[in-house]
Amino acid sequence: MCKHKNSGLLRVFVYGTLKPGEAYYECYCSNKIINSTKAYVRGELYALPQGYPAMTQGSNLVYGYLLLFANNEVLNNLDQLEDYHPQKSMSENLYNRKEVEVFDLENNSLGVAWVYFMSFDQISQLKGTPQFDGWWSAQGKSIS
């Protein structure tokens, strides 16, 4: 379980519909969140025509938020939303979850957090388009 040093908090980096102001934030996060910090991770971001983003591993910056939760059960709900099933092989999941290092906007490490990745093959099948600025929003606004 991805926890901050002795804090007992669940740490999840979100870059799409789970960000504050996006479609699933209210339902899955808002009343369970302890803290939210604008942040980035390394990866490649894609917008999918289905109305949500995906990211792969990579070296570009993907912007979003580091969310802290007191209750680890939140992760089960997020796994269901993201169609991630730990007992299945990676190719059977829509997204796969792994721990990555997260940075604040001043390039300071915030430690590790869970993030949901999609394979490049799945992104290609879903006709994803690269988001070179590293920011996705259903409203099209930027991180600044």
CA atoms within 13 A on the CB side of 72: 7
pLDDT tens digits along 112-142: 999 999 999 999 999 999 999 999 998 765 5
More reliable by pLDDT, 10 or 1: 10
Helix/strand/coil percentages in the chain, nearest 5: 15, 40, 40
Residue 33 has pLDDT above 80, yes or no: yes
Instruction: Specify burial of residue 123 (Cβ count, 10 A radius: 0-12, 13-18, 19+).
Output: buried
Angle at 30 (CA atoms; ends 85, 68), nearest 5 degrees: 65
Please give the pLDDT value at position 11: 97
Which pTM was predicted? Answer: 0.91
Residue 7 has pLDDT above 70, yes or no: no
The amino acid at 88: K
Please give the pLDDT value at position 140: 63
Instruction: Specify burial of residue 126 (Cβ count, 10 A radius: 0-12, 13-18, 19+).
Output: middle
Please give the pLDDT value at position 13: 98
